[in-house]
């Protein structure tokens, strides 16, 4: 049993800033600052708006998870990782299937760049298997084994190559926690209330309480907050679930 403060629980909640415009994105940043720990900027927003959106969020003193899932030759990903550190992002990710050398060179580049710039090391995450892929999709691509086996294999590879953690489906948390130990960071999207009927396009979901209890360090939540009549009330409820989840571990 472990208790954490409300502030520490807030820090574990990452808001998926999947907005259609700069103005809309910044409205959410204004509203949710202090109620969530980080804002996740994905491919859609970053491709449309570029680094300005990161700079604007950072200028308001907020943390950013840059979710661009880099996957390229080691040198290219290492330079992209340095660029992400230069922007001051607090967390970013690559695809674990880019291989050990890609991960290792990017971790080295990112962490030494942070040192040179006098910034804190960002959390370096690896994406194992996209939750949109099932066993048939893996077979089609030419991977052997099922998604569960591949998730653990890639997570171990990422851990050995120096990544700080992984992005994982809610249903893989328990297995990953067991195979990777307590210190490896697990970030989990696909969070929905246990009693929520509309799960959008998320199928394999857990509640914030369950995900944290199973061992998630951070949870990513978008639509349940964005579509709520009272987004702050939903944030507060999720933060309460995070506190309860930690206490129940």
- Please pick, from the candidates 9, 10, 16, 103, the single residue that binds ligand C5P as defined by CB under 6 A: 16
Q: Is 96 in the site for ligand C5P (CB under 6 A)?
A: no
Nearest approach in angstroms of CB 115 to ligand C5P is: 29
* Burial profile 127-161: b = 16 or more Cβ within 10 angstroms, e = fewer: bbbebeeeeeebeeeebeeebeebbbbbbbbbbeb
**CA within 13 Å, CB half, 248:** 15
For residue 220, the 8-state DSSP code is E
Site for ligand C5P in 40-59 (CB under 6 A): 42
24 close to 47: Cβ distance less than 8 angstroms:
no
Q: For ligand C5P, which is the closer residue by CB, 18 or 108?
A: 18
Residue nearest to ligand C5P (CB): 222
Please give the size of the binding site for ligand C5P, defined by CB under 6 A: 16
Spatial distance between the Cα atoms of 145 and 138, rounded to a whole number of angstroms = 8
Q: Is 239 in the site for ligand C5P (CB under 6 A)?
A: no
The phi and psi torsions of 41 (rounded to 5 degrees) equal -105, 120
Catalytic residue IDs: 69
The set of residues, in sequence order, having a beta carbon less than 8 Å from that of 36 and lying 6+ positions away, is: 10, 13, 14, 15, 235
Give the binding range for ligand C5P (CB under 6 A) out of 75-83, 116-124, 145-153, 216-224: 216-224
- Please pick, from the candidates 165, 189, 215, 231, the single residue that binds ligand C5P as defined by CB under 6 A: 189
- Supply 36's token pair: 């969530």
Give the binding range for ligand C5P (CB under 6 A) out of 4-12, 52-60, 145-153, 215-223: 215-223
- Please pick, from the candidates 37, 98, 190, 215, the single residue that binds ligand C5P as defined by CB under 6 A: 190
- Please pick, from the candidates 220, 234, 238, 239, the single residue that binds ligand C5P as defined by CB under 6 A: 220
The set of residues, in sequence order, having a beta carbon less than 8 Å from that of 80 and lying 6+ positions away, is: 68, 70, 72, 106
Three-class DSSP category at 197 = coil
> Which candidate, 186, 190, 184, places its Cα nearest to that of 170?
190
Q: Is 71 in the site for ligand C5P (CB under 6 A)?
A: no
Residue 125 vs residues 3, 110, 165, 168: alpha-carbon distances, Å: 26, 12, 5, 10
- Please pick, from the candidates 161, 173, 212, 221, the single residue that binds ligand C5P as defined by CB under 6 A: 221
- Please pick, from the candidates 4, 18, 76, 135, the single residue that binds ligand C5P as defined by CB under 6 A: 18
Q: Which string of x and - marks every residue 168-187 that binds ligand C5P (by CB under 6 A)?
A: -x------------------
Residues at the site binding ligand C5P, with contacts judged by CB under 6 A: 16, 18, 42, 130-131, 167, 169, 189-190, 200, 202, 220-224
């Amino acid at each position: 049993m472990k208790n954490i403060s409300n502030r520490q629980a807030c820090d574990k909640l990452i808001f998926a800033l999947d907005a259609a415009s700069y103005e809309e994105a910044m409205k959410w940043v204004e509203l949710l600052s202090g109620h969530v720990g980080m804002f996740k900027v994905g491919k859609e927003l970053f491709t449309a708006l570029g680094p300005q959106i990161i700079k604007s969020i950072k200028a308001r003193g907020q943390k950013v998870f840059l979710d661009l899932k880099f996957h390229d030759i080691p040198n290219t990903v290492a330079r992209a990782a340095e660029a992400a550190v230069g922007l001051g992002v607090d967390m970013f990710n690559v695809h674990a299937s880019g291989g050990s050398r890609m991960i290792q060179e990017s971790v080295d580049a990112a962490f030494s760049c942070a040192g040179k710039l006098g910034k804190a090391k960002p959390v370096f995450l690896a994406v194992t298997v996209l939750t949109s892929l099932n066993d048939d999709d893996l077979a089609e691509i030419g991977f052997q084994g099922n998604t569960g086996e591949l998730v653990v294999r890639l997570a171990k590879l990422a851990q050995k190559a120096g990544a700080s953690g992984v992005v994982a489906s809610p249903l893989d948390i328990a297995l990953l926690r067991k195979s990777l130990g307590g210190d490896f960071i697990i970030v989990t999207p696909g969070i929905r209330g246990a009693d929520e009927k509309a799960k959008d396009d998320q199928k394999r979901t857990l509640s914030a309480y369950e995900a944290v209890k199973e061992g998630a360090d951070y949870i990513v939540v978008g639509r349940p907050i964005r579509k709520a009549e009272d987004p702050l009330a939903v944030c507060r409820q999720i933060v309460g679930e995070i506190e309860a989840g930690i206490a129940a571990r």
